[in-house]
Structure 1
Amino acid sequence: MQHRIVVLGAGYTGATAAGRLAKRLHSEDVAITLVNADTDFVERVRLHQLAAGQDLTPRPLAEMLAGTDVALKQAKVTAVDVDAKTVTVTAPGTGTEELAYDSLVYALGSGWNTQGVPGTAEHAHEIASRPGALRLRERLAGMTAGDSVVVVGGGLTGLEAATEIAEARPELSVALAVRGELGDWLSPKGRAYLRKAVDRLGIAVHENASVATVEADRVTTAAGDSLPAAATVWTTGFAVHPIARATALEVTETGQIVVDETMRSVSHPDVYAVGDAAMAMGPGDKPLRMSCASGTPMAWLAADSLAARLTGGKLPKNTIHYLNQCISLGRKDGLIQFVTADDRAKDSALTGRFAARYKELICKAAAWGVANPTLGVPTRRHRTLTRPAQPVRTEAGATA
């Protein structure tokens, strides 16, 4: 009997984990099913480009995973029962069904986080998802010279969104509202260059401006300042998918699954969690931040750990650490901030066109890695040591 591995979510982490498992394990021993609501792979790190009006190259998951023996199932995950080891999904045309698993890789990721600010859900735009980026794209396309765009949030996503929109649509009035100071986590060189870039693009920066309410035509800060906004783009962080919180898994207050150093759930050892869905500790005993830079090595580690446990191999060592933070500032400008292993800014940074090319290579490498998930490891498939018996599930849902 094949060991059934179900992977939930085909973003960078889920697709990478599924492909890597398929390359590491023998297809006679395991059946790997990758569940995703869409048939295309979404390059989340490029969604600010999509929102600004650029067309991205379609990346069908079936083509990216060709030859891996991964069964791709287009369906929306609606529930997970970690005690019964089942996942409930809704598929187009076939309705609701139940998938049984022996091992589960949970990679449902995250979406935008309104932070509970009044009016945000009703009036703001998000670029944490492809539908959200397309809605913003449509809104921007209907705007005319002088119309105002306010990007709320001064993290990587906010900086990339503001600079991309300002470069693509110089006739618009683009503003950036940040809670602290602009780029306050960067090195002095990085902060100075970022300031120069936003000034060059004509972006008005409102520092120490915590947004308290969002309306259809403006945002209001906690200090009472009103910023006109024909379109508000909300980029103040991410909220994890809510399904994990509804399970018996041990999760944090934010709903992230608590995992050990091999990305395995501390409460349910047959469940692995990767990417934004997982609370994993990195260098300096600090939580890994929600990012592709964290998620991809987490997927490698989870896949290698699961494969090792199934084949009796040696568990891999957790060596996840950070090297840099890559920020695109439009298509021809960028900032590469080098960081310590635990993600603190160093004095050195790359800037300008070379940094933009560097960031572009990073984006291409991230997508390439999904289709080539065995970077740095042997591709020989190993046989599993055990093949657990599987319950037979009847139409009524009972087991025999």
Structure 2
Amino acid sequence: MQHAVQVVVVGGGYAGVTAANRLTGRADLEVTLINPRPVFVERIRLHQLVAGSDDAVAEFSRVLAPSVRLVVDTVERIDAPGRRVLLASGDSLAYHHLIYAAGSGRAIADVPGAAEYAYPIADLGQAERLRAALAGAGPAAPVSVVGGGPAGIEVAAELAEQGRAVTLLSAGRLGPSLHPRARRSVARRLESLGVSVEDGPGSRVIAVRPGEIELADGRVRPSAITVWATGFGVPDLARTSGLSTDAIGRLLTDETLTSVDDDRIVAAGDSAAPSGLPLRMSCQAAGPLGGHAADTVLRRIDGRPPTPFVMGFVGLCLSLGRQHGIFQVEHRDDTATRSYIGGRAGALVKEVICWGTVEALVVEARHPGATRLPAAFGDRGRRRMLATSAVGDGTAAVGTAAGGPDARATATREDAERS
């Protein structure tokens, strides 16, 4: 009697659920998804949970194919030689193939008092803790949001729309990934909501204390609640399991998303670093990465060579409260164009995208393989750069791309200007 192939997926976010669902197209596989929570978390709605306009969760019974076995537990170590994962409960699971989709979280910088007194907002527990703290502090309490990127902008706008006194602090310019035209639109909307924006080196937070923060230029500002919305990190699971990672702990893979250490391990989502040049941490990248990781596993099971991952970005969307938003149109290499959709139309686009990310999981659960992006959307700059350092079957050797990430940014920017 032939036994089913065991595939374990570590992580139940956008990438992990997409991968698990894609695998159910094969009846000869047994797919297990391990996640520390019994619900699927819509991370792109966590700022809404904080403000009380959404619960930011969906039942796994809705987004996960019925044939996927859900194990609510935490993976403490991957035993790659023994092909098993060790769980916090003391149990272990054997696998033939493993998809590493451990996700990411907010990295608290080495700032005195930040770990003790700041409130990160990157997972469900953190968002719930922040919501409770805001309720306890009262509506008049001054709130500081640290970080001028998408997360900081969204939470600042959401809270200011409720009438809270919010200061948004950024050590760099506001919305660094936005085109100047879209950035000006965001700044105007924040100003209309009453958000005080302070950016530049002097606005860098150097200490967090109960009821106040200290800035690099020496100012001390009152802050009943300090929201930490800058800097991403990933779990240490890959590194502590003895697998090769990049500097922050993302699993190093080739362009097929296969671990450079073990062809039975494939990575997807925020915790993957293909060729040492990871994509932007986002649900926009997570879904395609999860689907391709599953395709790589399926090809290996069939004895066929896996293909390189192909993807191009489309845009970056921000909510600016419930009535306004921005959809920044991007080149495929994730750089901004001059075009954007703002105002109420931008808010509608953002809402459709948030709804669509969950619906894509539902469709994939019912029709494995249905949600695919055409190769035409691929980042041609990345493909051209990797082609110059191609080895073997056409995938790139990790670390061999000339000039590293800076060279990639230059190559893709030049390609975008020509397109």
Q: Which residue of 2 aligns with 1:380?
A: none
| 2:370 is equivalent to residue 375 of structure 1 | yes
Q: Which residue of 1 aligns with 2:375?
A: none
Deviations 1:157-203 (A, max 9, x none): 11111101111x21x21000011122233212101101110001000
| 2:44 is equivalent to residue 45 of structure 1 | yes
Deviations 1:270-300 (A, max 9, x none): 101111111125xxx9531111112111111
Cα contact 1:80–1:88 (8 A) shared by 2: yes
TM-score, scaled relative to structure 1 = 0.87
| 2:185 is equivalent to residue 185 of structure 1 | no
Report the alpha carbon displacement of residue 313 of structure 1 after superposing the two structures with TM.
4.9
| 2:203 is equivalent to residue 205 of structure 1 | no
Q: Which residue of 2 aligns with 1:121?
A: 115
> Using the alignment, how far apart are the partners of 1:96 and 1:31 within structure 2?
21
- Superposed, 1:1-400 pairs within 5 Å as 1-23=3-25, 25-26=26-27, 29-56=28-55, 58-67=57-66, 69-90=67-88, 95-167=89-161, 169-170=162-163, 172-208=164-200, 209-280=203-274, 286-313=277-304, 315-373=306-364, 374-376=369-371
Secondary structure, aligned partner of 2:41: coil
> Using the alignment, how far apart are the partners of 1:376 and 1:193 within structure 2?
33
- Seen in structure 2, the aligned counterparts of structure 1 residues 342 and 22 have a Cα distance that, compared at 3 Å, is same
Cα contact 1:62–1:72 (8 A) shared by 2: no
Secondary structure, aligned partner of 2:30: strand
Cα contact 1:35–1:76 (8 A) shared by 2: yes
Secondary structure, aligned partner of 1:96: coil
| Aligned length in residues | 365
Cα contact 1:83–1:248 (8 A) shared by 2: no
Report the alpha carbon displacement of residue 57 of structure 1 after superposing the two structures with TM.
6.5
Structure 2 portions without partners, runs of 5+: 373-419
- Seen in structure 2, the aligned counterparts of structure 1 residues 46 and 376 have a Cα distance that, compared at 3 Å, is closer
* Runs of 4 or more consecutive aligned structure 1 residues displaced over 6 Å after TM superposition: none
Cα contact 1:16–1:371 (8 A) shared by 2: no
Secondary structure, aligned partner of 1:241: coil
Report the alpha carbon displacement of residue 117 of structure 1 after superposing the two structures with TM.
1.3
- Seen in structure 2, the aligned counterparts of structure 1 residues 57 and 144 have a Cα distance that, compared at 3 Å, is closer
> Using the alignment, how far apart are the partners of 1:247 and 1:288 within structure 2?
23
More helix, by proportion: 2
Deviations 1:77-127 (A, max 9, x none): 12211121111113xxxx411111110111111111012111111001111
| More contact order relative to length (CA 8 Å, sep ≥ 6) | 1
Cα contact 2:37–2:73 (8 A) shared by 1: yes
Report the alpha carbon displacement of residue 140 of structure 1 after superposing the two structures with TM.
1.2
- Seen in structure 2, the aligned counterparts of structure 1 residues 272 and 257 have a Cα distance that, compared at 3 Å, is same
Q: Which residue of 2 aligns with 1:384?
A: none
Report the alpha carbon displacement of residue 322 of structure 1 after superposing the two structures with TM.
0.8
> Using the alignment, how far apart are the partners of 1:250 and 1:66 within structure 2?
31
> Using the alignment, how far apart are the partners of 1:57 and 1:329 within structure 2?
17
Report the alpha carbon displacement of residue 365 of structure 1 after superposing the two structures with TM.
1.0
Q: 1:96 corresponds to which letter in structure 2?
A: G
Q: CA RMSD in A?
A: 1.7
Calculate percent identity across the aligned residue pairs: 38
Cα contact 1:52–1:140 (8 A) shared by 2: no
- Seen in structure 2, the aligned counterparts of structure 1 residues 376 and 76 have a Cα distance that, compared at 3 Å, is closer
Report the alpha carbon displacement of residue 376 of structure 1 after superposing the two structures with TM.
4.0
- Seen in structure 2, the aligned counterparts of structure 1 residues 254 and 70 have a Cα distance that, compared at 3 Å, is same
